[in-house]
Each structure stands twice: as C-alpha cells, then as structure tokens.
C-alpha cells in the first residue's frame, strides 16, 4: 500500500514525496487509518520503525480537516520525556507540515523562557513539549491548552519512569473535551498498559512486533571484561577497527564525563551528553557527532530516546542499564530504517544479574565473546561464552529500499521517517 491509498491530503503527500518515501512502514500502515478515524490508540513499535511519522501525518491531516474558526489556538499537544526527543518530533512536524498553514512550537527546558513566550503570543497550532517546562508556562499564564483536540504521549513509558505521571495528569486536566489521545512507545509494561486504559477511551491497541523486542537487524554481542579494563578495551575496539561513529552509554552523568575525558586522552575525539549539560551544549555535541567532527559520543539514558542519526553503525553499553527496557532503547539507536547495526555490551562481574534481566526481557541469550588479551578474572556461568577475535570492523549496509523511524531513508520505496 502507498501513502496515497491511506487517504492523506495533497500537501502531506507532497511533503512525504520530498523526502523520497513511497511506502508506509508497518506501524504507519496500522496507525494512520485508526488515527484518521478519530480513535484513541495504544501503539507499540520498535524504535526506528517510523512511529513518529505514524502519528505526525494523521495529526496534521485531522487538524486540516477540522479547521478552526477565529483566532489561532493550540489544537494539538505532543508530550515527550526529553528535550532531544521533543526536538526530533518538532523536526518531523516541520518536515511533514511544510505545505500546510500550521505553526508549531517546541517547549522544553534549557533554552530561553522569554523566547518561548514570544513565540506562543504569536499563536501556535501545535506544541511539542516536555511536561515540566510546559507546566512552567501554564503556571505563568503564558499558554492556553483548553482548545487541544489531539494529545500525543510519545515514549510514554519513559515519561512515567522519569516520574512525570503527576505532571501528565495535571496537563490532561487542562485540555479540551472531547479529545483524541494517542499513546506511543517502543515498550509497554503491564503497569503502563493499565495506566493507558485509565487515560484512553476504548483504545485500539496496535502492536507491530512483540513488546520489548530489540530490532532484528542489530547484532548483539557481550564482552565480559574486568571493570578496571573496560575503558582500555573500548579504546582498543574503536581504534583497532577505525570505527568513526560510536554512541557509548554510561549509567551516570559523572561516569559519562569521566569516560569522555579518558577517551579523549586516548586520542579519540569525544563529547559527552547528559542532563547536567546545557541545552546548547547538548545540541552542539549531537550536531558535531552527526557531522563527524566527534568520533565518540558518551551519553546517559537521557539520550537513548531522541537521538536520530542516519546509519549509526555502533552502540556500546559501557555499563548495562539498571532497567532492562532501557537496553532496548539504547541499542535501538543503531539498526534503524532497515540498516544493519552492532550493539556491544562490556560487562563486569557485578553486572551479570543485569544481563540475566535483559535476556529474560528479550527471551533469548546474548552471545558472549571474550576478546583475547582482555580475559576476565571472573566466570560468567554460562556455556555461551567462547573465545573469539576482537569485534569485526564496519559491516556493509544493506541497499536502501524502505525506511522508518529516525533511520536513514532508502529512497526507492520507503516509509516516512521520524
């Protein structure tokens, strides 16, 4: 099926065509007709499969079909857990709404409050926001949400993990009625599903793949290694194979800064991105990484959702996350849009229980390779451990033919990105 057959407007089809996309991805194929029909949805899809376009396109269509009368009011609200994801979604709204008469504003912390107020006073149809900064504007009386017709909760499980549930309920109490509510996420735990049924009205549940499933084009490998040799092994892997673009995850902000400094001393151009960095610094580091001026980007989980990098080949878990679902989001930064990727995890003996939790979530055991010269002093108590050479170099990308999510478009036949 093509985008034309989904019933999108001429302006949206033109914007999609400008991006070189012709066929919707599975999540877009299932979600767009339901959203156009005005129903609430609870949608789960892997990262990189096009879920952002899956709600952006029909949202813009519905706003155009149900044109407002009188002065410009905010009619759609998209909530995201992080600034990076808000910026990514905002970019998608701008891209697909370029031929439509809508104004959008991105409202999140770390940037000028006054600049956002000036933009809001001009009138906006769509707001993409993080909950905290949005409520700051509500409390200052600089924003009116009473005319909102469509609410999108993007990566809603992450928002709840970050403690935004009370903020979300406050925001929902300010919105107009009747209202269409859309919940999107890459993973859904049972508590999240239960919550969804308290926020949504008779939702249609859409699940493209079983929940908590890692992207099938991501090769996952675990390297057992003593903790004090992790940085040494990471530098060896990157340098020996001349990897040029590597996203590395740590658990803490302090750990991210320390690792970035150590890698820089090893001769690797490195930047760190985490919650203590200013928004300008985070945006600059991400831009430098995307454009190849930075070889290694060290990040905390604040960056695991919202980083959209074309054909990112490698993700490294320098430390495993405490929450198993975060592992899925981390490695979802590679292997996007049908491209192949590689996810490497460096595990020390104290992280073996975390590995067990991740494997239980994925319902499979991960291959464990011991890199010669970096043999650990501990046993992992699993028969899957085998001695193996250092990780292979860059893998050949598959020919471009279908895209989704935030991955690089493959122009011949592709689902909308974002």
3-state helix, strand, coil in the chain (%, to 5): 40, 15, 45
Please write the tens of the pLDDT for every residue from 258-271.
Answer: 999 999 999 999 99
The Cα 387–Cα 25 span in angstroms is 39
Provide the 8-state DSSP code for 239. Answer: H
User: What per-residue confidence (pLDDT) applies to 290?
Assistant: 87
Asked whether residue 384 carries a pLDDT value surpassing 60, the answer given is: no
- pLDDT band for 78, please (50, 70, 90 cuts): very high
3-state SS track over 289-323: HHCCCCCEEEECHHHCCCCCCCCCCEEEECCCCCC
The Cα 25–Cα 19 span in angstroms is 14
Highest mean pLDDT among 186-190, 193-197, 357-361: 357-361
Cα-flanking dihedrals φ and ψ of residue 89, to 5°? Answer: -65, -40
How many angstroms separate the Cα of 104 from the Cα of each of 60, 70, 92, 391? 11, 18, 11, 44
Domain ranges of the chain: 4-207, 218-387
Neighbours of 305 (CB within 10 A): 26
Cis peptide before 306 (omega within 30 of 0): no
The Cα 285–Cα 77 span in angstroms is 28
Edge-to-edge strand list for the sheet holding 41-44? 104-107, 126-129, 76-79, 150-154, 180-185, 41-44, 204-207
Asked whether residue 46 carries a pLDDT value surpassing 70, the answer given is: no
- pLDDT band for 191, please (50, 70, 90 cuts): low
Asked whether residue 383 carries a pLDDT value surpassing 70, the answer given is: no
Residue 32 burial by Cβ neighbours in a 10 Å radius (0-12, 13-18, 19+): buried
Can 4-207 and 218-387 be said to share one CATH topology? yes
- pLDDT band for 24, please (50, 70, 90 cuts): very high
Which has more pLDDT, 98 or 191? 98
Please write the tens of the pLDDT for every residue from 201-249.
Answer: 889 989 876 555 556 678 999 999 999 999 999 999 999 889 999 999 9
Residues 12-17: contacts with CB under 8 Å, at least 24 apart: 12/57, 12/60, 12/61, 12/96, 12/99, 12/100, 14/99, 15/95, 15/96, 15/97, 15/98, 15/99, 16/57, 16/96, 16/416
Asked whether residue 412 carries a pLDDT value surpassing 50, the answer given is: no
Cα-flanking dihedrals φ and ψ of residue 405, to 5°? Answer: 60, -145
Q: Does domain 4-207 have CATH number 3.30.450.20?
A: no
Please write the tens of the pLDDT for every residue from 301-334.
Answer: 875 565 667 678 999 999 999 988 888 888 888 8
Write down the mean pLDDT value for the chain.
Answer: 84
Judging by DSSP bridges, how do beta strands 104-107 and 150-154 pair with one another? Answer: unpaired
SS3 125: coil
Contact (Cβ atoms closer than 8 angstroms) between residue 325 and residue 189? yes
The Cα 331–Cα 342 span in angstroms is 8
Contact (Cβ atoms closer than 8 angstroms) between residue 387 and residue 396? no
How many angstroms separate the Cα of 36 from the Cα of each of 5, 29, 177, 280, 393? 13, 12, 18, 37, 45
User: What per-residue confidence (pLDDT) applies to 214?
Assistant: 58
The Cα 25–Cα 412 span in angstroms is 14
Asked whether residue 389 carries a pLDDT value surpassing 50, the answer given is: no
CATH class of the 218-387 domain in this structure: alpha beta
The Cα 243–Cα 394 span in angstroms is 7
Residue with tokens 């879920």: 51
Extract the runs of DSSP E, i.e. beta strands, from 254-402. Answer: 270-273, 296-299, 314-317, 341-347, 367-370, 385-387
Which has more pLDDT, 243 or 402? 243
For residue 31, which of 18, 48, 50 has the smallest C-alpha distance?
Answer: 50
Asked whether residue 89 carries a pLDDT value surpassing 90, the answer given is: yes
The percent of residues in the chain predicted with pLDDT above 70, rounded, is 83
Judging by DSSP bridges, how do beta strands 180-185 and 218-224 pair with one another? Answer: unpaired
Question: What pTM, to 2 d.p., does this model score?
Answer: 0.69
Element counts in the chain: helices (H) and strands (E): 14, 15
**In the predicted model, what is the mean pLDDT of residues 182-196?**
75
């Amino acid at each position: 099926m093509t985008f034309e057959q989904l019933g999108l407007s001429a302006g949206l089809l033109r914007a999609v065509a400008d991006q070189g996309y012709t066929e919707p991805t599975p999540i877009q194929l299932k979600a767009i007709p339901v959203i156009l029909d005005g129903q609430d949805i609870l949608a789960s899809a892997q990262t990189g499969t096009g879920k952002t376009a899956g709600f952006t396109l029909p949202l813009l269509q519905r706003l155009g079909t149900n044109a407002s009368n009188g002065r410009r009011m905010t009619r759609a609200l998209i909530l995201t857990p992080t600034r990076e994801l808000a910026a990514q979604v905002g970019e998608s709204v701008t891209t697909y709404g370029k031929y439509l008469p809508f104004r959008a504003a991105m409202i999140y912390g770390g940037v000028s409050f006054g600049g956002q107020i000036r933009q809001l006073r001009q009138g906006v149809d769509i707001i993409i926001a993080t909950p905290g900064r949005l409520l700051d504007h509500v409390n200052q009386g600089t924003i009116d949400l009473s005319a909102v017709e469509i609410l999108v909760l993007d990566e809603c499980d992450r928002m709840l993990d970050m403690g935004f549930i009370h903020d979300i309920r406050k925001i929902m109490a300010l919105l107009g009625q009747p209202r269409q509510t859309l919940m999107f996420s890459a993973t859904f735990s049972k508590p999240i599903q239960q919550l969804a049924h308290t926020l949504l009205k008779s939702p249609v549940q859409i699940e493209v793949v079983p929940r908590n499933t890692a992207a099938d084009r991501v090769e996952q490998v675990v390297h057992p290694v003593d903790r004090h040799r992790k940085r040494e092994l990471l530098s060896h892997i990157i340098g020996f194979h001349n990897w040029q673009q590597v996203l590395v995850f740590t658990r803490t902000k302090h750990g991210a800064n320390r690792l970035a400094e150590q890698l820089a001393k090893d001769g690797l151009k490195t930047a760190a991105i985490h919650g203590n960095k200013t928004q300008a610094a985070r945006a600059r580091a991400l831009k430098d990484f995307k454009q190849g001026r930075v070889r290694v980007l060290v990040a905390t989980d604040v960056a695991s959702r919202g980083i959209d990098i074309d054909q990112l080949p490698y993700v490294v878990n320098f430390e495993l996350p405490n929450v198993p679902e975060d592992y899925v989001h981390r490695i979802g930064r590679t292997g996007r849009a049908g491209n192949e990727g590689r996810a490497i995890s460096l595990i020390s003996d104290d992280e073996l229980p975390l590995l067990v939790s991740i494997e239980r979530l994925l319902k499979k055991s991960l291959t464990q390779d011991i890199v010669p010269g970096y043999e650990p002093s501990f046993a992992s108590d699993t028969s899957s451990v085998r001695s193996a050479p250092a990780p292979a170099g860059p893998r050949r990308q598959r020919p471009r033919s279908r895209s989704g999510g935030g991955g690089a478009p493959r122009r011949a036949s592709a689902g909308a990105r974002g």
